[in-house]
Amino acid sequence: MPSSAPSSARIRATGTARGRSRVVSILDAAYGGSDQWEAIAEGGQAKLQAAIVSGGLAATKSRVILSVLEQVKQKHGTYSLDHLFAASDDDATRELLSFRGVGPKTAACVLLFCLRRDTSLAVDTHVHRITGLLGWRPPGATREEAHAHLNARVPDPLKYPLHVLLVTHGRTCDECRAGGRVLGRCALRKAFRGAVVVEGAADEEARRGEIERVKAEEPGVKTDSEAIAHAVEQASRA
């Protein structure tokens, strides 16, 4: 079946490789395949939300996936964006961002993972948090601002491996994962100590950004304490 790249990227964003494998298996059972876009669209949000719940933020992700599928079908008459394989990076990015619910991170993931381009560094919560801790982006930068800042500075051949390394580190390091505490054992922080700010204000800014992200993306989360608990739970699934 033709691909719907933003929806594929959203499913890819459902957590760890193990978590994604579990989600794909559930989608296979529920719809006959994880890329059966017509069946997914016709199945409604409740069914999709239940299928991807193990990845976290299922209410938000299921709503966005169905919205993007509807927009793609209305624009192209089919659940396919295969024409983007022949498009330039700029044209592909421009079309992806034209869909409501698709931001720079999802567009970058589509280019990086679905279209096999190495010209875009996807800035997810781990990349945003750790580049803030290392001082690689301006303090207080949003994900969109961090995306523009980092993509202008990181060489193309390093964008994919750097994304993978930062995401892996953000999921496994006791200090740098969501809800982590400075323990003085992080090899990455030690390597940059003295050259950049890696603690104090940077840690608080990353913590605040994580809280606001969860509150914005998960409708049921209202307070800071609920957001922290949700972030820690997500980190524990990594």
Domain boundaries, position 58: 5-114
Predicted TM-score (pTM) of this structure: 0.66
User: Is the pLDDT assigned to residue 219 strictly greater than 50?
Assistant: yes
In a domain, 119, yes or no: no
The 3-state secondary structure of 68-113 reads HHHHHHHHHCCCCCHHHHHCCHHHHHHHHHCCCCCCHHHHHHHHHH
- pLDDT on residue 175: 85
Lowest-confidence range among 13-17, 103-107, 137-141, 224-228? 13-17
198/162 same-domain check: yes
Q: Which amino acid, one-letter code, is at 73?
A: K
Convert the pLDDT of each residue in 14-62 to its tens digit.
444 555 677 788 888 899 888 899 999 999 999 999 988 877 788 988 9
Q: Does 238 score more than 80 pLDDT?
A: no
The rounded distance, in Å, linking the Cα atoms of 96 and 37 is 17
> Does residue 73 carry a catalytic annotation?
no
Q: Is the dihedral of CA 207, 131, 164, 152 positive or negative?
A: positive
Last residue of a domain, one of 82, 114, 146: 114
**The one catalytic residue among 47, 61, 73, 105:** 105
What separation in angstroms does the CA of 55 have from each of 61, 66, 156, 206?
9, 17, 29, 22
Q: Are 105 and 203 in a shared domain? A: no
Whose structure tokens read 């953000």? 170
Q: Which of 61, 46, 44, 55 is nearest to 22 (CA)?
A: 55
Per-residue pLDDT, averaged over 200-222, amounts to 60
pLDDT digits (tens, 9 = 90+) for 59-83: 988 999 999 999 999 999 999 999 9
Q: Tell me: do 214 and 151 sit in the same domain.
A: yes
Into how many domains does the chain fold? 2
CATH code (residue 22): 1.10.340.30
**Residue where one domain finishes, among candidates 114, 147, 179:** 114
Q: Model confidence at 12, in pLDDT bands (50, 70, 90)?
A: low
**Mean confidence (pLDDT) of the chain:** 80
Shared-domain flag, residues 200 and 140 = yes
The string of pLDDT tens digits covering residues 139-173 is 889 888 999 999 999 999 999 999 999 999 998 89
